[in-house]
Amino acid sequence: MNMTIIAAGIGEYHVNGQMLPFQFEPVSVSKRISVTDWITNVLEPIGWNKFVNLSFSIPTVESAGFSDALRQLENVNSRYLQGDDRGVLAAAYDAIDPVMFSQRQTLLQCVSNPSKRAAIDSLIETAHRFFNGGRHVPEERRTRGGFEVDHIDGEYARLLSGITGAYLAKRLESVRPG
């Protein structure tokens, strides 16, 4: 994350009981910092909510289309950071639909327990329906089961699509010969 701070001012420091006046001209400083540092050293100390930083690994999967779907998850995050909430749900749909949803029965064959497989299938189907409903433009919403979205929905779709992609990639990797 790139951050630019521009500061100027007049004030005073108190050092060892002595007042030291200061004045400085505008100064611009650019610095690249990690998101974790920004959250823990800036946002949380000033009371901008409490954050839980979720990071998860997504293994490289040698499967037709699956790698493209995982790369599409980067677009989900980019749209979220731009504040494009409907775009987040559209990108999440684009990441999930071609492979993870449409081919989920094939992907889930590696889950031997039928109850677990059914539960995972249900979660993926519900996530797909959520992403689909939020991606439609306003005039389509009434006829296609869509709904208005806000930044809370965008954040949920961002996390849900990433976790879904990571989970399925790890399931596929677990049965890969090697």
Query: Per residue of the chain (178 residues), what is the pLDDT tens digit?
Result: 666 665 555 666 667 777 777 666 666 677 787 777 777 777 778 776 776 767 777 777 776 677 788 778 889 988 988 889 999 999 999 888 877 777 777 778 888 899 999 999 999 889 988 998 888 766 665 566 678 889 999 999 999 999 988 888 888 777 665 5
Give the pLDDT of residue 116: 92
Q: Is the pTM above the cut of 0.75?
A: no
The number of C-alpha atoms within 13 Å of 21 and in the hemisphere containing its C-beta is 2
The number of C-alpha atoms within 13 Å of 156 and in the hemisphere containing its C-beta is 12
The token duo for 92 is: 């999440």
131 and 92 Cβ atoms separated by less than 8 Å: yes
Give the pLDDT of residue 97: 81
> Would you say the C-alpha torsion 39, 45, 50, 52 has a positive or negative sign?
positive
* Domain ranges within the chain, ordered by starting residue: 2-33, 66-174
* DSSP character at residue 110: G
- d(C-alpha 38, C-alpha 53), whole Å: 11
- d(C-alpha 30, C-alpha 148), whole Å: 37
Just give the CATH number of 66-174. Answer: 1.20.120
